Homo-oligomer: A and B are copies of this chain.
Amino acid sequence: MTLCIDWALWRSFLAVAEAGSLSGAARRLSLTQPTVGRHIEQLEGAFGQKFFLRSPQGLMPTEEALALLPQARAMAMAADSLERQASAPAEEARGIVRIAASHVVGVELLPEALAPLVDAHPGLETELALSNENSDLLRHEADIALRMARPTQGSLIARYLGEVPLGLFAHRSYLLRHGSPQEPGDLRGHLLIGADRDPAFLAALEAFGGAMTRRSFRLRCDSEAAQLAALREGIGIAICQRGIAARDPDLVPVLAGQVSFRLGCWLVMHDDLRAVRRIRMVYDHLGKCLPRMFKRQPVP
């Protein structure tokens, strides 16, 4: 407020920092290199410090610019969110809704869950922001998020969807080749598929008190979607949501009665978006639809 910096300058600032060059930023913003260059100049002039080191290879952010970067991103998120929200009148069921979820959920559950909704509302557009990290709703990275951890409040609205049942599964072909484990101890001889560095997963392993370590899993990957693909390929045994496994008749439960996990699941949205009808609608729909999908049993 003190200096009244034109907000457009920050946009150029962020673009340059992310693109690494004036020209690159200009392309991204549909501007020209001299314009973006002037913006940066203007910014540096206003604050009396250099934000980028010029070089013929591009611009390198200085220490100061790096410190500003996260906040500039926050601003960009808010701007994007504004454009999404303004994309249609609040009381209509059309416009853009951005949903954050893990890769598996995005691949295996959301398409099916959203299908009837987008079908019924021709003006409704959905964006899936799939990521392993909990994307930050507070920064408006998405409108709605599906989370496996209780949201730690802070102007967020959450709905508990219940527990997602997990189990061990293997492809029929794998079991034909390697046999079916009959008790947990048998797992030692099998090829297990698990997460790579996912902290939640590693923490869960601790619970087994050393009986299972990261090394127990011979195919490690943080993308659950890739794990699922490997599972379907018959590479080994993996943990999978029962509801998802149930959709594939070739996936066979392993140690069904003996090994099982559950994961709490929350649907979260930002309080700011309470007034936006289409978001509320998607939120409510997912809130009804997903628990059913979690509970789905295999059809024999």
Point out residues on A near B: beta carbons under 8 Å: 1-8, 10-11, 29-30, 43, 47, 49, 63-64, 66-68, 70-72, 74-75, 78-83, 85-87, 89-91, 96, 136, 138-140, 152-155, 271-273, 275-276
Partner of A30, one of B4, B7, B29, B90: B4
The answer to whether B4 touches A29 (Cβ under 8 A) is: yes
Known A-B contacts: A8-B8, A72-B78. Give 18 more (CB < 8 A).
A1-B80, A1-B83, A7-B11, A7-B79, A43-B86, A49-B89, A63-B91, A63-B275, A64-B91, A67-B273, A68-B82, A70-B272, A71-B140, A74-B140, A75-B79, A78-B78, A136-B154, A138-B155
The answer to whether A7 touches B10 (Cβ under 8 A) is: yes
Q: Write the nearest CB–CB distance from A291 to chain B, whole angstroms.
A: 25
Residue of B nearest to A47 (CB): B86
Q: Write the nearest CB–CB distance from A28 to chain B, whole angstroms.
A: 9
**A51, B279: Cα distance in complex, Å:** 19
Main secondary structure of the interface of A (DSSP, over half): helix
The answer to whether A67 touches B275 (Cβ under 8 A) is: yes
Residue of B nearest to A279 (CB): B67
A-B contact pairs, 12 of them (CB 8 A): A2-B83, A5-B83, A7-B10, A47-B86, A64-B89, A64-B91, A66-B275, A67-B276, A68-B82, A71-B140, A74-B140, A152-B154
Q: Write the nearest CB–CB distance from A100 to chain B, whole angstroms.
A: 14
Q: Which residues of B contact A8 (CB under 8 A)?
A: 6-8
The answer to whether A85 touches B68 (Cβ under 8 A) is: yes
Q: Write the nearest CB–CB distance from A263 to chain B, whole angstroms.
A: 19
Q: Write the nearest CB–CB distance from A3 to chain B, whole angstroms.
A: 6
Of A67, A136, A152, most B-chain CB atoms within 10 Å:
A67
Residue of B nearest to A72 (CB): B82
A71-B140, A75-B75 known; A87 and B30 CB under 8 Å?
no
Q: Which residues of B contact A79 (CB under 8 A)?
A: 5, 7, 10, 75
**A72, B82: Cα distance in complex, Å:** 7
**A183, B49: Cα distance in complex, Å:** 64
Q: Which residues of B contact A154 (CB under 8 A)?
A: 136, 138, 152, 154
Q: Write the nearest CB–CB distance from A127 to chain B, whole angstroms.
A: 10
**A271, B138: Cα distance in complex, Å:** 13
Q: Which residues of B contact A75 (CB under 8 A)?
A: 7, 75, 78-79, 82
